[in-house]
Amino acid sequence: MWDSLWLGHVATMTAGGGPYGAIRDGALAIKAGRIAWLGAQSALQDQPEKLATDVFHMREHWITPGLVDCHTHLVFAGDRAGEFEMRLNGAAYEDIARAGGGIAATVAATRAASLADLGAASAGRLKRLMAEGVTTVEIKSGYGLELETEKRMLAAARGLAGDVRVRTTFLALHALPQDYKDNRAAYVDLVCEEMLPALADAGLVDAVDAFCEGIGFSAVETEQLFAAAANKGLRIKLHAEQLSDTGGAQLAARYQALSADHLEYVSEQGIAAMAEAGAVAVLLPGAFYFLRETKKPPVEKLRAAGVKLALATDCNPGTSPLLSPLLAMNMGCTLFGLTPEEALAGFTREGARALGLLGDIGTLEVGKAADLAVWRVKHPAELSYWLGASLLRARVFAGRAFNDA
Ligand code: DI6
Ligand code: FE
């Protein structure tokens, strides 16, 4: 006897079959939190009610894998709406910096916030993601720039797990703290030699990330971090080629990165290196939109090279205050030219791959975790089509059904 049986159209999102890996009039059975059986309703051996304790008739609605938001900075304190308003009132960047704005403002607010404050502020944001079907979220640190606050951010992120799976990334090189502004090398050493080992030994780090950029950290500094991560046996991810080409994608590929993210300015060599290494390209249209960037990531070239394309919200207070995966999917289509199927794959199968979790989640297959989203749509393309609709009918995490739409 199965614990539950879900009946509806099923987009398995497995690659290589038909569009969306779809099974029309399908059935998905769950036992002990895992997918126990999957197929056409017509292939069920008995009446549904005789096969499972709970039967959910979703009729014409679509069942997909639970969404995977594989790149967020969800844990932070405060917001930067005031700065947004100042800019639109004509304030110059220097005015904002002088008023203590920018990333420094988020660092100050985050350093001042307790674990409970951080958890509460972030839980509200996570709720919005879950209301759009998210069952796995990656959360980065990076607004502490010193050990205790980075640790508190990662602990707050881990504390959000429960009805959702959380993976934590130590965003080790994000910005240079004020007190190290004349001593970059000392800060990079501190991060690599003290902060990373301490956080890893505390068991708070699933992966390591950096902001490799003209206004962030150089490829040489980033490589020092990657070597330290490799020493600790940790996989890496990288903010690469968002605002300029610094060779981050090649560097990430050389260190067998799970993903390189943003990539608006990635070069042909960067694409080739990523393809060779099997690194996922995580596209972040929210930041592209919010910064009014005009250079698009080279989607056609990435596709042609066989690089897998994930999509994520990049939720952060400075460049992507975006709490809607479905809007990110729409932006992936309208701004970057993804197909609706690629957009959904980007938030399921490829998002899972970008976290190294594809063996367990990201597609609907027997044996994988029973993480599902059920949508009030007649075709899965609607998920990328509507702007601001409320489409989630049910969310299932590890076999348990929630009504958090
Ligand atoms: N990429 C970004 O766009 C930001 N961080 C990063 O690594 C900006 C984060 C912020 O301004 O708060
Ligand atoms: Fe980011």
Q: Which of the listed residues 71, 72, 73 should we mutate to test ligand 1's pocket, taking the one with most ligand atoms within 8 A of CB?
A: 73
Judge whether residue 92 has pLDDT over 90: no
Q: Please tell me if the CB atom of residue 285 comes closer than 6 angstroms to any atom of ligand 1.
A: no
**Which two structure tokens, joined as six digits, stand for 143?**
């607004």
Closest CA to 133 of 387, 345, 386, 371: 371
Q: Please tell me if the CB atom of residue 321 comes closer than 6 angstroms to any atom of ligand 1.
A: no
Judge whether residue 291 has pLDDT over 70: yes
Ligand nearest to the CA of residue 291, numbered in listed order: 1
* Band of residue 97 on the pLDDT scale cut at 50, 70, 90: confident
Strands 309-311 and 280-283: parallel
d(CA 353, CA 351): 5
- Which residue shows structure tokens 């690599």? 192
Q: Please tell me if the CB atom of residue 239 comes closer than 6 angstroms to any atom of ligand 1.
A: yes
Global pTM value: 0.97
Closest ligand 1 atom to Cα of 102: 11
Q: Whose CA is nearest to atom 10 of ligand 1?
A: 318
Count of beta carbons in the 10 Å neighbourhood of residue 194: 11
Q: Please tell me if the CB atom of residue 103 comes closer than 6 angstroms to any atom of ligand 1.
A: yes
Q: Whose CA is nearest to atom 3 of ligand 1?
A: 319
* Band of residue 379 on the pLDDT scale cut at 50, 70, 90: very high
How deeply is 201 buried, as exposed, middle or buried, from its count of CB atoms within 10 A (0-12, 13-18, 19+)?
Answer: exposed
Q: How many CA atoms lie within 13 A of 27 on its CB side?
A: 21
Q: Whose CA is nearest to atom 9 of ligand 1?
A: 318
Q: Whose CA is nearest to atom 2 of ligand 1?
A: 319
Question: For the sheet containing 372-375, what is the strand order?
Answer: 34-40, 22-31, 2-11, 52-65, 372-375, 392-397, 400-402
* Band of residue 95 on the pLDDT scale cut at 50, 70, 90: confident
pLDDT digits 0-9 by tens, 24-66: 999 999 999 999 999 999 999 999 999 999 999 999 999 999 9
* Band of residue 405 on the pLDDT scale cut at 50, 70, 90: low
Spacing, Cα 272 to ligand 1 middle (Å): 26
d(CA 303, CA 299): 6
Q: Please tell me if the CB atom of residue 286 comes closer than 6 angstroms to any atom of ligand 1.
A: no
Q: Report the share of the chain in percent with pLDDT over 90.
A: 95
Spacing, Cα 319 to ligand 1 middle (Å): 6
The Cα-based distances of 276 to 37, 49, 270, 306, 308 in angstroms read 35, 49, 10, 9, 11
Q: Please tell me if the CB atom of residue 135 comes closer than 6 angstroms to any atom of ligand 1.
A: no
Q: Please tell me if the CB atom of residue 211 comes closer than 6 angstroms to any atom of ligand 1.
A: yes
Judge whether residue 172 has pLDDT over 80: yes
Q: 3-state secondary structure string, the chain? A: CEEEEEEEEEECCCCCCCHHHEEEEEEEEEECCEEEEEEEHHHCCCCHHHHEEEEEEEEEEEEEECEEECCCCCCCCCCCHHHHHHHHCCCCHHHHHHCCCCHHHHHHHHHHCCHHHHHHHHHHHHHHHHCCCEEEEEEECCCCCCHHHHHHHHHHHHHCCCCCEEEEEEEEECCCCHHHCCCHHHHHHHHHHHHHHHHHHCCCCCEEEEEECCCCECHHHHHHHHHHHHHCCCEEEEEECCCCCCCHHHHHHHCCCCEEEECCCCCHHHHHHHHHHCCEEEECHHHHHHCCCCCCCCHHHHHHHCCCEEECCCCECCCECCCCHHHHHHHHHHHHCCCHHHHHHHCCHHHHHHCCCCCCCCCCCCCCECCEEEECCCCCCHHHHCCCCCCEEEEEECCEEECCC
Average pLDDT for the chain = 97
Radius of gyration of the chain (CA): 21
* Band of residue 98 on the pLDDT scale cut at 50, 70, 90: confident
Q: Report the share of the chain in percent with pLDDT over 70.
A: 100
Spacing, Cα 374 to ligand 1 middle (Å): 32
Ligand nearest to the CA of residue 139, numbered in listed order: 2
Q: Please tell me if the CB atom of residue 77 comes closer than 6 angstroms to any atom of ligand 1.
A: no
Count of beta carbons in the 10 Å neighbourhood of residue 78: 17
pLDDT score, position 96? 81
Mean pLDDT of 211-234: 97
Spacing, Cα 77 to ligand 1 middle (Å): 14
Mean pLDDT of 126-152: 98
* Band of residue 403 on the pLDDT scale cut at 50, 70, 90: confident
Q: Please tell me if the CB atom of residue 152 comes closer than 6 angstroms to any atom of ligand 1.
A: no
Judge whether residue 194 has pLDDT over 80: yes
